[in-house]
Amino acid sequence: MTVIDAIIQGAVQGLTEFLPVSSSGHLAISQHILGVTDSNLFFSVMLHIGTLLAVLVFYRKTVAEVFMGFVSLVQDIAKRRFSFKNMTHSQNMAVMLIIGLLPLLLILLPVPGSGGMSAKDLAEVWSADTGYFIMVGVALLFTSILLLVGIGANRNTVMRERREAREAGVHTRSTKGAGRHHLNPIDAVLIGTTQLFAAIFPGLSRSGSTLAMGQLCGLNKQTALDFSFVLGIPSILAAALLEGKDAVASGALQSLEIVPALVGVAVSAVVGFFAILIFKWMLKKDRMYIFVIYTAIAALAVIIISIIELQSGVNIFTGEQLNYV
């Protein structure tokens, strides 16, 4: 792998990990176009580390607050003075984060009717096997629909709060701060479950789908996005650890090139940081329709290509026979 390759892959990883367009979907698309059937697992781990650094730096204050909330929570429980109703803001964030992560544990359990395969195993098969390329298109289409639904949900929240303000004799056109800023367990479970599905289906954006679910729950759009990104920190770390374990087992570490790997980490971290910044700005300015259009176009393109390939049995980009299971 050259340094240029590392820069390109790091930039793509940094952008797609945080923008609501699905990093797994774009990875599957690029591998399908290039005819890649096997990739350097450990290099993928390094790119995940880069994006993890990006979100940790961007949300360093929030992460610190959640950590202190968790510590104080443990102390209160140990001293038998914990009260769910009287939790501090930082304790609430810590509890909601824990609840939101619980559904993700299901990815390691066997899926009924799959021959003992876990959801994680199925996700890897669907991501890598060209016979399932159409699933990427369908998942991208769901991403587009969810983003559109999220936009509609946020608009309804804004209109409802404006109506309530008028009824109270307050006239305002501002949409800033519309929606709840305080999460409850139902919010956390629904957003966490959405993240689980995003982890299973390549093409279903984690950030986009969890944001949409938060908006459907009535959360403030920035609050929903912040929780989505913070919830993604343990998820990215878990993905890196699981891929790292597979990489060590496969011997990929021996073929790792240090310089390209370090360049990939740096690029994915820097690009990821600015991707978060751009995402938050576009959400604030109500420009999410751009991602709705983009994912819809990408979805239709993948579905059309998949239908052509399913009929011919050949990858139209490489000319190779497709691998059906």
In this model, does residue 171 exceed pLDDT 80?
Answer: no
Q: What is the pLDDT of residue 251?
A: 67
In this model, does residue 217 exceed pLDDT 70?
Answer: yes
Is-contact 275 17, C-beta < 8 A? yes
Closest CA to 229 of 52, 12, 14: 52
In this model, does residue 159 exceed pLDDT 60?
Answer: yes
Confidence grade of residue 260 (pLDDT, cut at 50, 70, 90): confident
Residue 113 within a domain: no
pLDDT in tens, 197-210: 998 898 999 999 99
- Name the average pLDDT for the chain: 87
Residue 293 within a domain: yes
- By the 10 Å C-beta count (0-12 exposed, 13-18 middle, 19+ buried), 105 is classed as exposed
Residue 323 within a domain: no
Q: What is the pLDDT of residue 247?
A: 67
Q: Which long-range contacts (CB under 8 A, 24 or more apart) does 243-252 make?
A: 243/41, 243/42, 243/44, 243/45, 243/48, 244/41, 244/42, 244/45, 246/41, 247/40, 247/41, 247/42, 247/44, 247/45, 248/42, 250/41, 252/40, 252/41, 252/42, 252/43
Q: What is the pLDDT of residue 248?
A: 72
In this model, does residue 173 exceed pLDDT 60?
Answer: no
Residue 321 within a domain: no
In this model, does residue 240 exceed pLDDT 60?
Answer: yes
**Residue 97's domain spans which residues?**
3-103+118-312
Residues contacting residue 6 through CB under 8 Å, at least 6 positions apart: 43, 260, 261, 263, 264, 267
Q: Which residue has the higher pLDDT, 114 or 71?
A: 71
Is-contact 69 90, C-beta < 8 A? yes
The token pair at 43 is 């290099």
The token pair at 210 is 């969890």
pLDDT in tens, 35-46: 766 556 677 778
As a whole number, mean pLDDT of residues 91-116 equals: 88
Q: What is the pLDDT of residue 67?
A: 94
In this model, does residue 108 exceed pLDDT 90?
Answer: no
Segment holding 183, helix H or strand E: none
The token pair at 284 is 């604030």
pLDDT in tens, 70-87: 999 999 999 888 888 888
Is-contact 282 20, C-beta < 8 A? no
In this model, does residue 241 exceed pLDDT 60?
Answer: yes
Residue 238 within a domain: yes
Q: Which residue has the higher pLDDT, 289 or 117?
A: 289
Instruction: Give how many domains the chain has, as a whole number.
Output: 1
Is-contact 110 118, C-beta < 8 A? yes
Residue 110 within a domain: no
DSSP for 273-293, please give it.
Answer: HHHHHHHHHHHHTT-THHHHH
Residue 282 within a domain: yes
Confidence grade of residue 128 (pLDDT, cut at 50, 70, 90): low
